[in-house]
Structure 1
Amino acid sequence: MNKLIPFFVLFCLCTFGQEHTKVIERQGHVSFFSYTSVEHIKAENNQVLGIVDLQTGGIAISMLMNAFIFEKALMREHFNESYVESDIYPKAIFEGNIVDFDPALSGEQTRIVKGNFSMHGETKQLEIKAKIERREQIYVLSGTFETVVQDYKIKIPPLLAGNIAKTISVDFRFECAPYED
């Protein structure tokens, strides 16, 4: 019995002494805004999955396109059926890295996130300035970036071109907590 105690102590130190290497957000927030003189379009999505690998700075985000909520039901219908074609392209995905990320820093740090964003069958490289705030074991990632509708081959009928901005502003916020394997 006494021979098992050192093994048990070593096992506990190895298992419970490890810091979490991944943090996850299961209900991240992404919103976008299209400003035109004719009509403003705003939508929000709170069903966004995000995961960050604290050791490598790797980040992956996946969101269901049909989970965006609009002011008007007709906007949501047009968005899903005519523009992003969410039945054919159900998800948007970002995979990349947080440049020079130091997960040990307490407080706030501003970093560049570089990676590939795939939406509507098209993939584009993005560089996004993000604010990362560490609150004990929680990492809050937030920021804003601009994206061009045409880059993702989203077709806008000429009749409606004045209603939708060519550049869309996207906001995001993720509160990532330790991920348990």
Structure 2
Amino acid sequence: MNKLRLLLLLLFLKLGTVFGQQFIARQGQVTFFSYATVEDIEAKNNQVLSILDFDKKEIAASMLMRAFVFKKNLMHEHFNESYIESDLYPKATFEGFLLEGLENAGPQVQFIKGKVTIHGITKEIEIKTTIQKTNDRYTMSGEFNLTVKDFNIKIPPILSNNIAKVVLVKFNFQYEPYENE
């Protein structure tokens, strides 16, 4: 079983039995941006799995940390080996729930509360999102800040000016109805 299908299976098991209004984003996008005086760091991951269950108001997402793409190979190497330690902590996850029900018409601002796990550390967060329904599909997007030290990511003092202490994370998921295969 390939890694993508295994992650998908784990997400469904985490959310419980699949009945009702489940939607899946198989290739969601997560980007992060770190402003620093020496050089900005930006990376994009287009292999994020997410499941949205409107009946239960639950959402889950999972991504492999090595799937982030950087402008420079050396940034990718340092990110995975020195900071995120992808061999020890290969993925990041989010599990949460919509604070309100979804209305049928137009784009809506929603708040999602949940737990994000990165580098083996889990923190509670609340995220402001925009959800748009088009036909039988949904788009969810938003952004939030994460503090590097909250996730026990060690930055050597000599490099502390090269990496921001707070990182901006943006996401965009295109959900389609889940059809049990």
TM-score by length of 1: 0.87
Equivalent position SS for 1:76: helix
Q: Distance in 2 between matches of 1:118 and 1:20?
A: 27
Question: 2:122 — aligned with what?
Answer: 123
Equivalent position SS for 2:92: strand
Deviations 1:140-172 (A, max 9, x none): 000010110000000001111100000000000
Shift of 1:85: 0.4
Q: Distance in 2 between matches of 1:151 and 1:82?
A: 17
Deviations 1:110-160 (A, max 9, x none): 010000000101000000000000111111000010110000000001111
Equivalent position SS for 1:162: coil
Question: 1:85 — aligned with what?
Answer: 85
Partner letter of residue 173 of structure 1?
A: N
- Identity within the alignment, %: 51
Residue 179 (structure 2) pairs with residue 172 (structure 1): no
Shift of 1:106: 2.3
Partner letter of residue 31 of structure 1?
A: T
Q: Which runs of 5+ in 1 are unaligned?
A: 1-18
Give me the CA root mean square deviation: 1.1
Equivalent position SS for 1:163: coil
Equivalent position SS for 1:75: helix
Shift of 1:20: 5.5
Partner letter of residue 168 of structure 1?
A: V
Q: Distance in 2 between matches of 1:136 and 1:55?
A: 18
Q: Which runs of 5+ in 2 are unaligned?
A: 1-18
Q: Distance in 2 between matches of 1:175 and 1:72?
A: 28
Question: 1:49 — aligned with what?
Answer: 49
Partner letter of residue 107 of structure 1?
A: G
Q: Distance in 2 between matches of 1:76 and 1:126?
A: 26
Question: 2:29 — aligned with what?
Answer: 29
Moved over 2 A (4+): none
Residue 131 (structure 2) pairs with residue 132 (structure 1): yes
Question: 2:62 — aligned with what?
Answer: 62
Question: 1:13 — aligned with what?
Answer: none
Larger radius of gyration: 1
TM-score by length of 2: 0.87
